[in-house]
Amino acid sequence: MDPFELTLIDAAAALRTRQLGHLEYVQALLQQADRLTSLNAWISRDPERLIQQAKALDRTSNSPSKHHPLAGIPLAIKDNIDTADLPTSGGTRALLASRPTRNAIVVERLLQSGGLIAGKTNLHELALGGTNHNAVTGACRNPWDPLRIPGGSSGGSAVAVAACMVPAALGTDTGASVRLPAALCGVVGFRPTTGRYASQGLLHLSPTKDTVGPMARTVADVAWLDSLLTREPPDLPDVSLKGLRLGIPREDFFKDADPQVLVIIEQAIDMLVSEGVVCVTLDVPGLKLHNDATGSTLVMFEMMQSLPAYAKAQGLSMNALLAGVGSPDVALLLSRQLSNERVTSTAYAAAQARRHKLQTAYAKHFADHRLDALAFPTCLMTAPPIGHDDTVFLDGRQVPTFKTLIRNTDPSSNAGLPGISLQAGLTAEGLPVGLELDGPLGSDRHLLAVAAAIARALPRLPSPPMVYA
Protein backbone atom coordinates (compact mmCIF):
# COMPACT_ATOMS: atom_id res chain seq x y z
CA MET A 1 0.00 0.00 0.00
CA ASP A 2 1.27 3.46 -0.89
CA PRO A 3 1.69 5.79 2.11
CA PHE A 4 -0.98 8.18 0.84
CA GLU A 5 -3.56 5.37 0.95
CA LEU A 6 -3.21 4.88 4.71
CA THR A 7 -6.16 5.72 6.92
CA LEU A 8 -5.59 8.20 9.73
CA ILE A 9 -5.29 5.48 12.37
CA ASP A 10 -3.02 3.32 10.21
CA ALA A 11 -0.77 6.26 9.36
CA ALA A 12 -0.45 7.19 13.03
CA ALA A 13 0.50 3.62 13.89
CA ALA A 14 3.05 3.39 11.07
CA LEU A 15 4.68 6.67 12.12
CA ARG A 16 4.64 5.79 15.82
CA THR A 17 6.37 2.44 15.24
CA ARG A 18 8.80 3.94 12.69
CA GLN A 19 7.59 1.64 9.94
CA LEU A 20 7.13 4.86 7.99
CA GLY A 21 9.27 7.97 8.17
CA HIS A 22 7.64 11.33 8.72
CA LEU A 23 9.37 12.86 5.71
CA GLU A 24 8.49 9.86 3.55
CA TYR A 25 4.84 10.23 4.53
CA VAL A 26 4.65 13.99 4.05
CA GLN A 27 6.35 13.78 0.67
CA ALA A 28 3.92 11.09 -0.50
CA LEU A 29 0.96 13.29 0.41
CA LEU A 30 2.52 16.37 -1.17
CA GLN A 31 3.23 14.48 -4.39
CA GLN A 32 -0.37 13.29 -4.49
CA ALA A 33 -1.65 16.83 -4.00
CA ASP A 34 0.71 18.18 -6.67
CA ARG A 35 -0.34 15.46 -9.11
CA LEU A 36 -4.01 16.31 -8.66
CA THR A 37 -3.90 20.10 -8.64
CA SER A 38 -6.55 20.09 -11.38
CA LEU A 39 -9.13 19.18 -8.74
CA ASN A 40 -8.55 22.61 -7.14
CA ALA A 41 -8.93 21.32 -3.60
CA TRP A 42 -6.65 23.92 -1.99
CA ILE A 43 -6.63 27.68 -1.53
CA SER A 44 -3.33 27.94 0.38
CA ARG A 45 -0.52 25.57 1.35
CA ASP A 46 3.04 25.76 2.68
CA PRO A 47 4.78 22.55 1.51
CA GLU A 48 8.24 23.67 2.62
CA ARG A 49 7.03 24.18 6.17
CA LEU A 50 5.54 20.67 6.18
CA ILE A 51 8.81 19.20 4.92
CA GLN A 52 10.80 20.98 7.62
CA GLN A 53 8.37 19.81 10.31
CA ALA A 54 8.65 16.22 9.06
CA LYS A 55 12.44 16.37 9.05
CA ALA A 56 12.43 17.64 12.63
CA LEU A 57 10.21 14.77 13.70
CA ASP A 58 12.48 12.25 11.97
CA ARG A 59 15.44 13.64 13.93
CA THR A 60 13.65 12.87 17.19
CA SER A 61 15.08 9.62 18.49
CA ASN A 62 12.26 8.71 20.88
CA SER A 63 8.79 7.65 19.84
CA PRO A 64 6.12 10.33 20.05
CA SER A 65 4.45 10.48 23.45
CA LYS A 66 0.91 9.31 24.03
CA HIS A 67 -0.02 12.98 24.35
CA HIS A 68 0.78 13.51 20.66
CA PRO A 69 -1.24 10.78 18.92
CA LEU A 70 -1.37 12.69 15.61
CA ALA A 71 2.36 13.40 15.55
CA GLY A 72 3.48 14.15 12.00
CA ILE A 73 0.09 13.72 10.29
CA PRO A 74 -0.95 16.53 7.90
CA LEU A 75 -4.63 17.45 8.11
CA ALA A 76 -6.63 19.69 5.79
CA ILE A 77 -8.50 22.67 7.24
CA LYS A 78 -11.45 24.33 5.51
CA ASP A 79 -10.63 27.93 4.68
CA ASN A 80 -13.25 29.44 6.97
CA ILE A 81 -11.54 28.07 10.09
CA ASP A 82 -8.87 30.37 11.50
CA THR A 83 -5.20 29.46 11.31
CA ALA A 84 -2.36 31.71 12.38
CA ASP A 85 0.15 30.33 9.87
CA LEU A 86 -2.03 30.44 6.75
CA PRO A 87 -4.68 32.94 5.60
CA THR A 88 -8.36 32.39 6.31
CA SER A 89 -10.17 33.65 3.25
CA GLY A 90 -13.65 32.18 3.38
CA GLY A 91 -13.12 31.78 -0.35
CA THR A 92 -13.90 35.45 -0.92
CA ARG A 93 -11.69 38.09 -2.53
CA ALA A 94 -11.57 40.64 0.30
CA LEU A 95 -10.17 38.06 2.74
CA LEU A 96 -7.64 36.27 0.51
CA ALA A 97 -4.73 37.84 2.39
CA SER A 98 -6.41 37.83 5.81
CA ARG A 99 -4.12 36.50 8.57
CA PRO A 100 -5.85 35.73 11.86
CA THR A 101 -3.71 36.27 14.94
CA ARG A 102 -4.49 32.87 16.44
CA ASN A 103 -5.77 29.43 15.59
CA ALA A 104 -9.36 28.35 16.04
CA ILE A 105 -9.71 26.20 19.15
CA VAL A 106 -10.44 23.10 17.05
CA VAL A 107 -7.23 23.66 15.08
CA GLU A 108 -5.28 24.21 18.28
CA ARG A 109 -6.53 20.90 19.67
CA LEU A 110 -5.30 19.04 16.60
CA LEU A 111 -1.93 20.80 16.79
CA GLN A 112 -1.65 19.98 20.49
CA SER A 113 -2.21 16.34 19.52
CA GLY A 114 0.78 16.55 17.17
CA GLY A 115 -1.09 17.15 13.92
CA LEU A 116 0.26 19.33 11.12
CA ILE A 117 -1.67 21.71 8.87
CA ALA A 118 -1.54 20.42 5.31
CA GLY A 119 -3.24 23.57 4.00
CA LYS A 120 -6.53 25.40 3.71
CA THR A 121 -9.17 23.92 1.43
CA ASN A 122 -11.47 25.39 -1.17
CA LEU A 123 -15.10 26.07 -0.31
CA HIS A 124 -18.25 27.60 -1.68
CA GLU A 125 -17.71 31.34 -1.29
CA LEU A 126 -18.35 32.35 2.34
CA ALA A 127 -19.75 28.80 2.83
CA LEU A 128 -23.02 30.04 1.31
CA GLY A 129 -23.85 27.21 -1.08
CA GLY A 130 -23.75 23.52 -1.91
CA THR A 131 -21.80 23.25 -5.17
CA ASN A 132 -18.33 24.68 -4.38
CA HIS A 133 -18.52 26.48 -7.73
CA ASN A 134 -16.58 29.49 -6.46
CA ALA A 135 -16.04 32.41 -8.84
CA VAL A 136 -13.14 33.75 -6.75
CA THR A 137 -11.08 30.63 -6.02
CA GLY A 138 -12.33 28.51 -8.92
CA ALA A 139 -14.54 25.47 -9.08
CA CYS A 140 -13.51 22.52 -6.94
CA ARG A 141 -13.84 19.22 -8.82
CA ASN A 142 -15.08 15.80 -7.80
CA PRO A 143 -12.31 13.15 -7.99
CA TRP A 144 -14.81 10.54 -9.25
CA ASP A 145 -15.62 12.77 -12.23
CA PRO A 146 -13.83 16.13 -12.51
CA LEU A 147 -16.69 17.54 -14.58
CA ARG A 148 -18.96 17.23 -11.54
CA ILE A 149 -19.23 19.17 -8.29
CA PRO A 150 -17.85 17.76 -5.04
CA GLY A 151 -20.71 19.28 -3.04
CA GLY A 152 -20.37 22.11 -0.61
CA SER A 153 -19.63 24.07 1.13
CA SER A 154 -16.73 21.93 2.44
CA GLY A 155 -15.96 20.58 -1.02
CA GLY A 156 -12.20 21.07 -0.90
CA SER A 157 -11.90 19.12 2.35
CA ALA A 158 -13.89 16.21 0.93
CA VAL A 159 -11.85 16.19 -2.28
CA ALA A 160 -8.54 16.27 -0.40
CA VAL A 161 -9.60 13.24 1.66
CA ALA A 162 -11.22 11.29 -1.21
CA ALA A 163 -8.20 11.85 -3.49
CA CYS A 164 -5.78 10.70 -0.75
CA MET A 165 -4.04 14.09 -0.43
CA VAL A 166 -4.60 13.85 3.35
CA PRO A 167 -6.05 11.14 5.59
CA ALA A 168 -8.54 13.51 7.23
CA ALA A 169 -9.84 17.05 7.24
CA LEU A 170 -12.02 19.55 9.05
CA GLY A 171 -15.03 21.12 7.40
CA THR A 172 -17.92 23.14 8.73
CA ASP A 173 -21.61 22.29 8.50
CA THR A 174 -24.50 24.74 8.70
CA GLY A 175 -27.15 22.82 6.77
CA ALA A 176 -25.27 20.18 4.77
CA SER A 177 -21.71 21.34 4.31
CA VAL A 178 -19.81 18.36 5.76
CA ARG A 179 -22.24 15.53 5.01
CA LEU A 180 -23.19 16.56 1.45
CA PRO A 181 -19.63 16.69 0.04
CA ALA A 182 -18.77 13.55 2.00
CA ALA A 183 -21.63 11.75 0.27
CA LEU A 184 -20.86 13.06 -3.23
CA CYS A 185 -17.11 12.32 -2.89
CA GLY A 186 -17.40 8.93 -1.21
CA VAL A 187 -15.94 9.68 2.23
CA VAL A 188 -17.28 9.85 5.79
CA GLY A 189 -18.48 13.19 7.14
CA PHE A 190 -19.72 13.83 10.69
CA ARG A 191 -21.82 16.72 11.95
CA PRO A 192 -21.77 16.65 15.77
CA THR A 193 -24.51 17.90 18.07
CA THR A 194 -24.42 21.68 17.74
CA GLY A 195 -22.13 23.06 20.46
CA ARG A 196 -20.15 19.84 20.93
CA TYR A 197 -17.00 21.40 19.47
CA ALA A 198 -15.59 24.80 20.40
CA SER A 199 -16.70 27.46 17.92
CA GLN A 200 -14.14 30.20 18.57
CA GLY A 201 -12.21 31.10 15.44
CA LEU A 202 -14.78 30.35 12.75
CA LEU A 203 -15.98 32.64 9.98
CA HIS A 204 -19.55 32.09 11.15
CA LEU A 205 -22.70 32.18 9.13
CA SER A 206 -25.14 31.11 11.82
CA PRO A 207 -23.95 30.45 15.40
CA THR A 208 -27.29 28.71 16.02
CA LYS A 209 -26.53 26.13 13.31
CA ASP A 210 -22.78 26.21 12.51
CA THR A 211 -20.44 23.48 13.67
CA VAL A 212 -17.06 22.13 12.67
CA GLY A 213 -17.17 18.53 11.44
CA PRO A 214 -14.41 15.96 10.78
CA MET A 215 -14.07 14.10 7.48
CA ALA A 216 -12.07 10.96 6.73
CA ARG A 217 -12.21 7.73 4.77
CA THR A 218 -13.41 5.57 7.70
CA VAL A 219 -15.82 5.97 10.60
CA ALA A 220 -13.06 4.90 12.99
CA ASP A 221 -10.91 7.83 11.86
CA VAL A 222 -13.77 10.30 12.28
CA ALA A 223 -14.56 8.90 15.74
CA TRP A 224 -10.90 9.29 16.75
CA LEU A 225 -10.86 12.91 15.62
CA ASP A 226 -14.09 13.49 17.55
CA SER A 227 -12.42 12.24 20.72
CA LEU A 228 -9.40 14.50 20.18
CA LEU A 229 -11.59 17.55 19.53
CA THR A 230 -13.66 16.91 22.67
CA ARG A 231 -10.89 15.35 24.80
CA GLU A 232 -13.07 12.35 25.50
CA PRO A 233 -11.80 8.74 25.70
CA PRO A 234 -11.25 7.38 22.18
CA ASP A 235 -12.91 4.00 22.59
CA LEU A 236 -16.40 3.65 21.16
CA PRO A 237 -19.05 1.57 22.94
CA ASP A 238 -19.66 -1.86 21.45
CA VAL A 239 -22.79 -1.95 19.30
CA SER A 240 -24.30 -5.08 17.82
CA LEU A 241 -26.28 -4.90 14.61
CA LYS A 242 -28.64 -7.55 15.92
CA GLY A 243 -31.60 -5.70 17.42
CA LEU A 244 -30.37 -2.25 16.38
CA ARG A 245 -33.40 -0.07 15.60
CA LEU A 246 -33.33 2.28 12.60
CA GLY A 247 -36.15 4.54 11.53
CA ILE A 248 -36.63 4.69 7.74
CA PRO A 249 -38.44 7.98 6.95
CA ARG A 250 -39.56 7.16 3.42
CA GLU A 251 -42.04 9.97 2.81
CA ASP A 252 -39.80 12.75 4.14
CA PHE A 253 -36.38 11.59 2.91
CA PHE A 254 -36.77 9.01 0.12
CA LYS A 255 -39.50 10.61 -1.97
CA ASP A 256 -38.33 12.09 -5.31
CA ALA A 257 -34.81 10.68 -4.98
CA ASP A 258 -32.88 9.60 -8.08
CA PRO A 259 -33.71 5.92 -8.76
CA GLN A 260 -29.96 5.17 -8.97
CA VAL A 261 -29.52 6.52 -5.46
CA LEU A 262 -32.47 4.53 -4.15
CA VAL A 263 -31.09 1.28 -5.59
CA ILE A 264 -27.89 1.69 -3.56
CA ILE A 265 -29.71 2.74 -0.38
CA GLU A 266 -32.21 -0.11 -0.58
CA GLN A 267 -29.36 -2.58 -1.07
CA ALA A 268 -27.72 -1.21 2.07
CA ILE A 269 -30.95 -1.46 4.06
CA ASP A 270 -31.52 -5.05 2.87
CA MET A 271 -27.99 -5.96 3.93
CA LEU A 272 -28.53 -4.45 7.37
CA VAL A 273 -31.81 -6.30 7.81
CA SER A 274 -30.03 -9.55 6.95
CA GLU A 275 -27.59 -8.77 9.77
CA GLY A 276 -30.41 -8.40 12.30
CA VAL A 277 -31.09 -4.67 12.17
CA VAL A 278 -34.73 -3.74 12.80
CA CYS A 279 -35.76 -1.18 10.18
CA VAL A 280 -39.05 0.58 10.90
CA THR A 281 -40.72 2.77 8.27
CA LEU A 282 -41.67 5.91 10.18
CA ASP A 283 -41.74 9.61 9.36
CA VAL A 284 -41.17 12.37 11.92
CA PRO A 285 -44.57 14.03 12.55
CA GLY A 286 -44.63 17.70 11.54
CA LEU A 287 -41.07 17.63 10.23
CA LYS A 288 -41.69 19.52 6.99
CA LEU A 289 -44.02 22.03 8.64
CA HIS A 290 -41.51 22.97 11.33
CA ASN A 291 -38.40 22.73 9.16
CA ASP A 292 -39.60 24.91 6.29
CA ALA A 293 -40.13 27.80 8.71
CA THR A 294 -36.73 27.45 10.36
CA GLY A 295 -33.46 26.97 8.50
CA SER A 296 -32.90 29.73 5.96
CA THR A 297 -34.55 32.31 8.22
CA LEU A 298 -32.10 31.55 11.03
CA VAL A 299 -29.08 31.61 8.74
CA MET A 300 -29.93 34.78 6.82
CA PHE A 301 -30.70 36.81 9.95
CA GLU A 302 -27.65 35.63 11.92
CA MET A 303 -25.36 35.97 8.91
CA MET A 304 -25.92 39.72 8.82
CA GLN A 305 -24.56 39.94 12.36
CA SER A 306 -21.77 37.38 12.00
CA LEU A 307 -20.18 38.53 8.74
CA PRO A 308 -19.81 42.22 9.71
CA ALA A 309 -18.31 41.19 13.05
CA TYR A 310 -15.75 38.90 11.39
CA ALA A 311 -14.88 41.51 8.76
CA LYS A 312 -14.37 44.16 11.45
CA ALA A 313 -12.02 41.85 13.38
CA GLN A 314 -9.93 41.59 10.20
CA GLY A 315 -9.90 45.36 9.72
CA LEU A 316 -12.49 45.34 6.93
CA SER A 317 -15.82 47.05 6.50
CA MET A 318 -18.87 45.07 5.48
CA ASN A 319 -18.94 47.09 2.26
CA ALA A 320 -15.40 45.99 1.45
CA LEU A 321 -16.34 42.37 2.13
CA LEU A 322 -19.41 42.61 -0.10
CA ALA A 323 -17.42 44.28 -2.87
CA GLY A 324 -15.11 41.27 -2.99
CA VAL A 325 -17.89 38.69 -3.48
CA GLY A 326 -17.55 37.12 -6.93
CA SER A 327 -20.06 34.26 -7.03
CA PRO A 328 -23.44 35.38 -8.40
CA ASP A 329 -25.48 33.10 -6.13
CA VAL A 330 -23.72 34.39 -3.02
CA ALA A 331 -23.99 38.01 -4.13
CA LEU A 332 -27.74 37.54 -4.64
CA LEU A 333 -28.25 36.08 -1.16
CA LEU A 334 -26.37 38.94 0.45
CA SER A 335 -28.08 41.62 -1.61
CA ARG A 336 -31.49 40.35 -0.53
CA GLN A 337 -30.53 40.80 3.11
CA LEU A 338 -29.59 44.41 2.37
CA SER A 339 -32.98 45.11 0.78
CA ASN A 340 -36.59 45.03 1.86
CA GLU A 341 -36.47 41.25 1.38
CA ARG A 342 -34.27 40.88 4.48
CA VAL A 343 -35.30 38.62 7.35
CA THR A 344 -36.87 40.68 10.13
CA SER A 345 -36.37 40.18 13.85
CA THR A 346 -40.02 39.11 14.06
CA ALA A 347 -39.49 36.38 11.48
CA TYR A 348 -36.31 35.34 13.25
CA ALA A 349 -38.10 34.96 16.59
CA ALA A 350 -40.79 32.86 14.91
CA ALA A 351 -38.10 30.64 13.37
CA GLN A 352 -36.51 30.09 16.77
CA ALA A 353 -39.88 29.00 18.12
CA ARG A 354 -40.32 26.63 15.20
CA ARG A 355 -36.83 25.25 15.80
CA HIS A 356 -37.83 24.33 19.34
CA LYS A 357 -40.91 22.52 18.00
CA LEU A 358 -38.72 20.66 15.50
CA GLN A 359 -36.37 19.56 18.28
CA THR A 360 -39.34 18.39 20.36
CA ALA A 361 -40.76 16.42 17.42
CA TYR A 362 -37.43 14.67 16.83
CA ALA A 363 -36.91 13.86 20.52
CA LYS A 364 -40.40 12.38 20.86
CA HIS A 365 -39.94 10.36 17.66
CA PHE A 366 -36.68 8.80 18.81
CA ALA A 367 -38.05 8.06 22.29
CA ASP A 368 -41.48 6.73 21.27
CA HIS A 369 -40.03 4.25 18.79
CA ARG A 370 -36.83 3.43 20.71
CA LEU A 371 -34.71 4.32 17.67
CA ASP A 372 -30.93 4.27 17.64
CA ALA A 373 -30.91 6.43 14.52
CA LEU A 374 -32.78 7.50 11.41
CA ALA A 375 -31.33 6.20 8.12
CA PHE A 376 -31.84 7.72 4.67
CA PRO A 377 -30.02 8.95 1.54
CA THR A 378 -27.69 11.82 2.45
CA CYS A 379 -28.56 13.48 -0.86
CA LEU A 380 -31.41 12.85 -3.29
CA MET A 381 -28.97 12.70 -6.19
CA THR A 382 -25.38 11.96 -7.14
CA ALA A 383 -22.99 14.81 -7.97
CA PRO A 384 -24.41 17.01 -10.75
CA PRO A 385 -22.23 18.67 -13.40
CA ILE A 386 -20.35 21.86 -12.54
CA GLY A 387 -22.17 25.02 -13.59
CA HIS A 388 -25.73 24.03 -12.71
CA ASP A 389 -25.90 26.58 -9.90
CA ASP A 390 -29.57 27.57 -10.13
CA THR A 391 -31.37 24.46 -11.37
CA VAL A 392 -30.38 20.87 -12.00
CA PHE A 393 -32.03 17.84 -13.59
CA LEU A 394 -33.13 15.11 -11.19
CA ASP A 395 -34.70 12.03 -12.78
CA GLY A 396 -35.75 14.08 -15.80
CA ARG A 397 -37.17 16.99 -13.79
CA GLN A 398 -35.65 20.45 -13.47
CA VAL A 399 -35.39 21.33 -9.77
CA PRO A 400 -33.71 24.04 -7.66
CA THR A 401 -30.07 23.08 -7.13
CA PHE A 402 -29.42 24.23 -3.56
CA LYS A 403 -32.73 23.16 -2.04
CA THR A 404 -32.47 19.77 -3.70
CA LEU A 405 -28.88 19.14 -2.59
CA ILE A 406 -29.58 19.95 1.06
CA ARG A 407 -33.16 18.71 1.42
CA ASN A 408 -32.26 15.65 3.46
CA THR A 409 -29.50 17.16 5.60
CA ASP A 410 -31.24 20.42 6.51
CA PRO A 411 -33.85 19.24 9.07
CA SER A 412 -31.42 17.65 11.52
CA SER A 413 -29.12 20.67 11.14
CA ASN A 414 -31.94 22.96 12.19
CA ALA A 415 -32.63 20.75 15.18
CA GLY A 416 -28.92 20.60 16.09
CA LEU A 417 -28.80 16.80 15.91
CA PRO A 418 -25.68 14.73 15.25
CA GLY A 419 -25.54 13.17 11.78
CA ILE A 420 -23.02 11.17 9.81
CA SER A 421 -22.80 10.28 6.12
CA LEU A 422 -21.31 6.87 5.28
CA GLN A 423 -20.26 5.40 1.94
CA ALA A 424 -23.22 3.28 0.78
CA GLY A 425 -21.87 2.28 -2.64
CA LEU A 426 -21.40 3.35 -6.25
CA THR A 427 -24.08 3.78 -8.91
CA ALA A 428 -23.82 2.13 -12.33
CA GLU A 429 -22.20 5.40 -13.47
CA GLY A 430 -19.49 4.95 -10.84
CA LEU A 431 -20.62 7.82 -8.61
CA PRO A 432 -20.73 7.59 -4.80
CA VAL A 433 -23.94 7.50 -2.77
CA GLY A 434 -24.07 8.43 0.91
CA LEU A 435 -26.17 6.86 3.66
CA GLU A 436 -26.94 9.31 6.45
CA LEU A 437 -27.59 8.34 10.06
CA ASP A 438 -29.10 10.95 12.41
CA GLY A 439 -29.27 10.43 16.16
CA PRO A 440 -30.90 12.17 19.13
CA LEU A 441 -29.36 15.32 20.60
CA GLY A 442 -26.19 14.51 22.52
CA SER A 443 -25.96 10.90 21.30
CA ASP A 444 -22.74 11.53 19.37
CA ARG A 445 -20.57 8.68 20.63
CA HIS A 446 -23.42 6.18 20.38
CA LEU A 447 -24.20 7.38 16.86
CA LEU A 448 -20.54 6.99 15.89
CA ALA A 449 -20.57 3.46 17.33
CA VAL A 450 -23.73 2.64 15.36
CA ALA A 451 -22.13 4.07 12.22
CA ALA A 452 -18.97 2.01 12.77
CA ALA A 453 -21.00 -1.19 13.12
CA ILE A 454 -23.03 -0.42 9.99
CA ALA A 455 -19.95 0.56 7.99
CA ARG A 456 -18.37 -2.81 8.75
CA ALA A 457 -21.39 -4.54 7.19
CA LEU A 458 -21.42 -2.47 4.01
CA PRO A 459 -19.08 -3.07 1.06
CA ARG A 460 -15.94 -0.97 1.20
CA LEU A 461 -15.70 1.75 -1.42
CA PRO A 462 -12.55 1.83 -3.59
CA SER A 463 -10.65 5.06 -4.07
CA PRO A 464 -11.51 7.14 -7.15
CA PRO A 465 -9.72 5.78 -10.26
CA MET A 466 -7.79 9.02 -10.81
CA VAL A 467 -6.04 8.53 -7.44
CA TYR A 468 -3.86 5.91 -9.17
CA ALA A 469 -3.96 7.18 -12.74
Catalytic residues: 78, 153, 177
Q: Is 340 exposed, middle or buried (0-12, 13-18, 19+ CB in 10 A)?
A: exposed
* Residue 331 backbone class (left: φ over 0; alpha: ψ -120 to 50; beta: rest): alpha
Ramachandran angles phi, psi of 398, nearest 5°: -90, 120
The contacts of residue 231 (CB under 8 Å, 6+ apart) are 109
Q: Taken in order 414, 417, 422, 427, is the CA torsion positive or negative? A: negative
- At 368, the amino acid letter reads D
Question: Could you tell me the CA-to-CA distances from 234 to 189, 222, 354 in Å, in that order?
Answer: 18, 11, 36
User: For residues 171 and 157, is the Cβ–Cβ distance under 8 A?
Assistant: yes
C-alpha Rg value of the chain to the nearest Å: 21
User: For residues 92 and 321, is the Cβ–Cβ distance under 8 A?
Assistant: yes
Peptide bond into 227 cis (omega under 30): no
